[in-house]
Amino acid sequence: MALKVKLIRSLEGRSERQRATVAGLGLKKLNQEKLLQDTPAIRGMVAKVAHMVTLEQVAGEAPKRKRVIPTAKKQAAANK
C-alpha cells in the first residue's frame, strides 16, 4: 500500500517545524504530489501537518527512497 500526499496549503506564515515536516515529506511547491511508503513515520508526519496536506491511499507500492549522503561525508569516507 502506498500513500499519495498533496500539499494544498501554502507554507507562508507556518512555523519552522511545520516547514521542516513538509520538506521531509518531499513536498516543495503548492499542489505538488508525492507517492510515499505507508509507514508509521510517514503517517505521523502527515498527522502533524494534516491541515496543509491531503492524504489518499493508493494500491501498489511506492518507490523506495534512496538515502542521500552529504558531500562532506562522502569525501571523508573516501579518504579513509
pTM of this structure: 0.77
19-34 pLDDT tens trace: 999 999 999 999 999 9
Residue ranges per structural domain of the chain:
2-79
Residue 66 predicted with pLDDT over 80: no
Q: What would the grid cell of residue 31 be?
A: 499542489
Query: Which one, of 51, 53, 66, lies nearest residue 3 by Cα?
Result: 53
Top CATH class of 2-79 equals alpha beta
Sheet of strand 2-7: strand arrangement: 33-37, 2-7, 53-58
Please report which confidence band the pLDDT of residue 80 belongs to, taking 50, 70 and 90 as the band edges.
low
Residue 2 predicted with pLDDT over 80: yes
